[in-house]
Amino acid sequence: MSMNLVTTLYLIASICFIQALKGLSHPTTSRRGNVYGMLGMGLAIVTTIGLIYKLSALSFGQGGATVGIGYVIVGLLVGGTAGSIMAKRVEMTKMPELVAFMHSMIGMAAVFIAIAAVVEPQSLGIVKQLGDSIPAGNRLELFLGAAIGAITFSGSVIAFGKLSGKYKFRLFQGAPVQFGGQHKLNLLLGLATLALGITFMLTGNLGAFALMLALAFVMGVLIIIPIGGADMPVVVSMLNSYSGWAAAGIGFSLNNSMLIIAGSLVGSSGAILSYIMCKAMNRSFFNVLLGGFGNTADAAGPAGSKEARPVKSGSADDATFLLTNADTVIIVPGYGLAVARAQHSLMELAEKLTHRGVTVKFAIHPVAGRMPGHMNVLLAEAEVPYEQVFEMDDINSEFGQTDVVLVLGANDVVNPAAKNDPKSPIAGMPILEAYKAKTVIVNKRSMASGYAGLDNELFYLDKTMMVFGDAKKVIEDMVKAVE
């Protein structure tokens, strides 16, 4: 395989990746975007295998190259099979954990490649023969790729634990883990990591490189633990960006244009998404990058510490009566809908209301659920028509003229405190303005607070009726009542 052919194939794969990002920017083209992404990655993998075989044959002969490629293919088959099984089995509500896990694997892959490049640079073509010194520029690239990869790995492990909610270990709890001098410690570790990385770049000292990696792993943990469950959507996109930059850094070291391009695309798109998420949650972008936010849960106080307040509650039949007698209905889906796997039943309810002449729309908050776009994917899975799904900025002006808003498992994204209480931890956060509707129906299992740990004034308004119970069961009862 000639280098000209490799360059051409990598260019085609890069174009596929760009088309993938373009396609994933809208639900109507997301399937096409995924196809482009798979084609680009498949082409990049095949091209890289051919390139590895050619370089191995030059160094070790045909026999050695064949054995080496055999190991590579076995690794691809093992990893590809494991990934396919995980992707097939994962539930929609567990998708954020899977994404965090994959980010951790990308970070660790960057670390392993960097270690291999530092220990045996001649095997990766960084130097001509064993004993030659790695150029300072390559040492800088290896330092950056390894450090970012280590931070991505350990941070993603913590994010996985927080998203999963299965583990009792305190670092994996949804509540922020904070202590005195935390930010100063992070700054000290960051400066020490930078100093060790520069030392490695200037001297090639392996001890400095090893210690730098250890500190980077610790930093990844410390950056994520102060972030609470309410801010996990931003964390997911942030770690996505980190994984991309780690891959790009290693790509420079290996002189692999495909890694550089793919890593840069992931890193930049993840950074843009993080910025959008921060804007949607009224967070500081730089605080997110440095792990300096996520104290909302502490501000809210311990669960159950608030005095019980009366609410107006009703049954599924009561809610159905209000829905069927309305001219306009806006449905606000939240994580509770995903947990109950009620999206298909919800689609059936929307269809029946539409057939009765009710105008039904869906309102999506950018950070609803546990990861960016979670609710969009959920509704797409149920084949909800895209023209009925509206983003927050496009539909907020309509709530004031809406007869009924049906809130399903959402909490923080419809909390009026963000608008009305300047002392609230979520003050200034843009929300879906459901409280402006004539009537509000809220379905929840209980009066428990959302991820931000805050009471929701929407639930106590005179115009609000609470319908308690599992979302799927409640919606199915609504469907029967409509019939």
Q: What confidence score (pLDDT) does residue 305 get?
A: 44
**Domain end among 89, 115, 134:** 89
- Answer yes or no: is 183 within a domain: yes
Cα angle at 114 between 111 and 116, to 5 degrees?
110
* 16 and 83 assigned to the same domain: yes
Helix ranges (H only) for 227-373 are 232-254, 257-281, 285-289, 296-300, 316-324, 335-340, 343-355
* Mode of pairing for the β-strands spanning 439-444 and 464-468: parallel
Q: Which amino acid does the sequence have at 250?
A: I
* 40 and 80 assigned to the same domain: yes
Domain that holds residue 473: 316-482
Q: What confidence score (pLDDT) does residue 277 get?
A: 76
* 78 and 105 assigned to the same domain: no
Tens digit of each residue's pLDDT, the chain (483 residues): 677 888 899 999 999 999 998 888 777 788 899 999 999 999 999 998 888 888 777 767 777 778 888 888 999 999 989 988 988 888 766 777 888 888 899 999 999 999 998 988 887 778 877 778 888 888 998 999 999 999 999 989 988 888 776 777 767 766 677 788 888 888 899 999 999 999 999 998 999 999 999 999 999 988 888 876 666 777 878 888 888 988 888 888 888 888 899 999 999 988 888 887 777 766 676 666 565 544 444 444 333 445 567 889 999 999 999 999 999 999 999 888 888 889 999 999 999 999 999 999 999 988 777 677 778 888 888 888 888 999 898 999 999 999 999 999 888 889 998 888 888 877 788 899 999 999 999 999 888 777 666 788 899 999 999 999 999 999 999 999 987
Buried b (16+ CB within 10 A) or exposed e, 433-454: bbbbbebbbbbbeebebbbbbb
Question: Taking the mean position of all CA atoms in its chain, how far away is CA 369?
Answer: 10
* 331 and 187 assigned to the same domain: no
Q: What are φ and ψ of residue 403, in 5° steps?
A: -70, -50
* 461 and 323 assigned to the same domain: yes
User: First and final CA of the chain: distance in angstroms?
Assistant: 65
- Answer yes or no: is 308 within a domain: no
Q: Which amino acid does the sequence have at 162?
A: K
* 337 and 396 assigned to the same domain: yes
Domains: count for the chain: 3
- Answer yes or no: is 302 within a domain: no
Q: What confidence score (pLDDT) does residue 296 get?
A: 44
Q: Give the integer Cα–Cα distance in Å for 376 and 383.
A: 10
Q: Give the integer Cα–Cα distance in Å for 457 and 479.
A: 28
Best CA proximity match to 191, nearest among 219, 165, 169 = 219
- Answer yes or no: is 311 within a domain: no
Question: Taking the mean position of all CA atoms in its chain, how far away is CA 327?
Answer: 36
Q: Give the integer Cα–Cα distance in Å for 333 and 406.
A: 8
Q: Give the integer Cα–Cα distance in Å for 364 and 372.
A: 11
Read off the tokens for 16.
Answer: 């596929």
Check if the beta carbon of residue 149 is closer than 8 Å to that of residue 109.
Answer: yes
* 158 and 132 assigned to the same domain: yes
Q: What confidence score (pLDDT) does residue 153 get?
A: 94
pTM for the whole structure: 0.77
Q: What confidence score (pLDDT) does residue 238 get?
A: 84
Check if the beta carbon of residue 104 is closer than 8 Å to that of residue 163.
Answer: no
* 37 and 68 assigned to the same domain: yes
Q: Give the integer Cα–Cα distance in Å for 372 and 406.
A: 22
Q: Among 317, 318, 412, 421, which one carries the catalytic annotation?
A: 412
- Answer yes or no: is 159 within a domain: yes
Q: What confidence score (pLDDT) does residue 1 get?
A: 64
* 108 and 256 assigned to the same domain: yes
Helix ranges (H only) for 30-130 are 30-89, 95-119
Q: What confidence score (pLDDT) does residue 292 get?
A: 52
* 85 and 98 assigned to the same domain: no
* 348 and 422 assigned to the same domain: yes
* CB-side neighbour CA atoms (13 Å) of 150: 23
Q: Give the integer Cα–Cα distance in Å for 167 and 158.
A: 11
Q: What confidence score (pLDDT) does residue 458 get?
A: 92
* 385 and 477 assigned to the same domain: yes
Clarify whether 412 is annotated catalytic: yes
Q: What confidence score (pLDDT) does residue 300 get?
A: 41
